[in-house]
């Protein structure tokens, strides 16, 4: 079972989507998103990620459970890719759990410029990656 948000997690929700950002362990961050991703939610989540990263000492690994993301605005992929490129000096890896064919396709496009991007299409594979990061 995937870890859930802790009490200090950032949370933002609207009718179309919901997102969480929290620290699993020092150096390991987690996000969970549901529904349709749009620009305003993405901006809030990126700002929350930046705050979490800045509070860490050293490099981080980010895990993103997007298994319940149904679709996203095209600007979301652009914004996340720009964010990852901007933060690549402190983000060692980005791990995404995705199910939607549309989201998987977007991840494949983004991976051309983000070699630290890893995608998982099963919960078990994603959980194994999380456990390996904590070891």
Q: Name all domains of the chain by residue range, CATH numbers in brackets.
A: 16-134 (3.30.750.24)
Tokens of 69: 């993301």
Mean pLDDT by 10 residues, the chain (135 residues): 78 89 93 91 94 93 95 89 95 95 88 93 95 82
Q: How many residues does the chain have?
A: 135
- What is the per-residue DSSP string for 24-69? EETTEEEEEEEEEE-HHHHHHHHHHHHHHHHHSSS-EEEEEEEEEE
- What's the predicted TM-score (pTM) here? 0.92
């Amino acid at each position: 079972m995937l870890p859930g948000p802790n009490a200090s997690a950032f949370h933002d929700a609207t009718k179309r989507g919901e997102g969480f950002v929290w620290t699993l362990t020092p150096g390991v961050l987690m996000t969970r998103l549901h529904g349709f991703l749009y620009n305003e939610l993405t901006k809030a989540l990126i700002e929350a990620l930046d705050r979490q990263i800045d509070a860490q000492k050293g490099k981080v690994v980010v895990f993103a459970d997007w298994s319940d993301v149904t679709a996203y605005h095209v600007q979301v992929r652009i914004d996340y890719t720009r964010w990852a490129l901007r933060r690549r000096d402190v983000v060692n890896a980005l791990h995404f759990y995705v199910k939607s064919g549309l989201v998987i396709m977007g991840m494949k496009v983004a991976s051309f410029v983000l070699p630290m991007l890893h995608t998982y299409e099963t919960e078990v594979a994603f959980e194994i990656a999380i456990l390996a990061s904590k070891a």
